[in-house]
Amino acid sequence: MLPAPPRLDDPEYGLPLHVHLAALIRLRDEGEHARGGLLERFVVRELDQWARAWPAEHERVDAATARQAVAAVALTAPTPAELPGLLPAAVPGLRDAATGGPALDGHVQDVAAWLRRVLPGGERLALPGPDLVTEQLLSGTEGLELLVLAVHDLEGRTVGHLVRMLDVLRVCAGGARVRSALRTLVTARAGSLVEEAVTHPGTRLGDLVDSVLGLFPAEPEVMVALPVRTGPARPGLRALDVTLSELAVRRHRTRGDRGALADALSMLSGRLAAAGRVGEAVAAAAEAVEIHAAAPPYEEAAGRAEALFDLGACLLLGGEAGGALKPAQEAAARYRILAEDDPRYAEEAARAYHNVACALLGTGRLSEAVRAFQAAGGDGDFAAHLAALLSVPAAPHP
Convert the pLDDT of each residue in 343-361 to its tens digit: 999 999 989 988 998 998 8
For the residues 35-42, what does the mean pLDDT come to?
Answer: 68
Q: Residue 278: which residues within 8 A CB-CB, separation 6 or more?
A: 272, 314, 317, 318
Report the alpha-carbon distance of residue 112 to residue 126 in Å, rounded: 13
> What is the per-residue pLDDT for 397?
47
Report the alpha-carbon distance of residue 10 to residue 62 in Å, rounded: 34
- Is the predicted pLDDT of residue 258 greater than 80, yes or no? yes
> What is the per-residue pLDDT for 374?
77
- Is the predicted pLDDT of residue 30 greater than 50, yes or no? yes
* pLDDT tier, 395 (very low <50, low <70, confident <90, very high otherwise): very low
Alpha-helix residue ranges (DSSP H) falling in the chain: 16-27, 38-51, 63-76, 83-90, 102-118, 131-139, 144-153, 159-171, 176-199, 205-213, 220-225, 238-255, 258-274, 278-293, 301-317, 321-341, 346-362, 366-375, 380-391
Helix/strand/coil for 382: helix
> What is the per-residue pLDDT for 50?
83
pTM, rounded to two decimals: 0.75
> What is the per-residue pLDDT for 394?
43
- Is the predicted pLDDT of residue 49 greater than 70, yes or no? yes
For the stretch 287-312, pLDDT in tens is 999 999 998 877 788 999 999 999 99
- Is the predicted pLDDT of residue 158 greater than 70, yes or no? yes
- Is the predicted pLDDT of residue 325 greater than 90, yes or no? yes
> What is the per-residue pLDDT for 383?
55
DSSP 8-class letter at 276: T
**Residue, of 188 and 24, whose pLDDT is higher:** 188
> What is the per-residue pLDDT for 398?
46
**Residue, of 321 and 23, whose pLDDT is higher:** 321
Q: Residue 374: which residues within 8 A CB-CB, separation 6 or more?
A: 380, 383
Report the alpha-carbon distance of residue 388 to residue 71 in Å, rounded: 74
- Is the predicted pLDDT of residue 170 greater than 90, yes or no? yes
- Is the predicted pLDDT of residue 241 greater than 70, yes or no? yes
**Inter-residue contact 70 to 143 (CB < 8 Å):** no
**Residue, of 300 and 285, whose pLDDT is higher:** 285
Which range, of 32-46, 74-88, 164-178, averages the lowest pLDDT? 32-46
Instruction: State the amino acid at position 57 in one-letter form.
Output: E
For the stretch 178-236, pLDDT in tens is 999 999 999 999 889 988 998 898 889 999 999 998 898 777 777 777 776 666 666 67
- Is the predicted pLDDT of residue 321 greater than 90, yes or no? yes
Instruction: Tell me how far apart the terminal alpha carbons of the chain are, to the nearest angstrom.
Output: 103
- Is the predicted pLDDT of residue 151 greater than 90, yes or no? yes
- Number of alpha carbons in the 13 Å side-chain half-sphere of residue 150: 22
- Number of alpha carbons in the 13 Å side-chain half-sphere of residue 257: 12
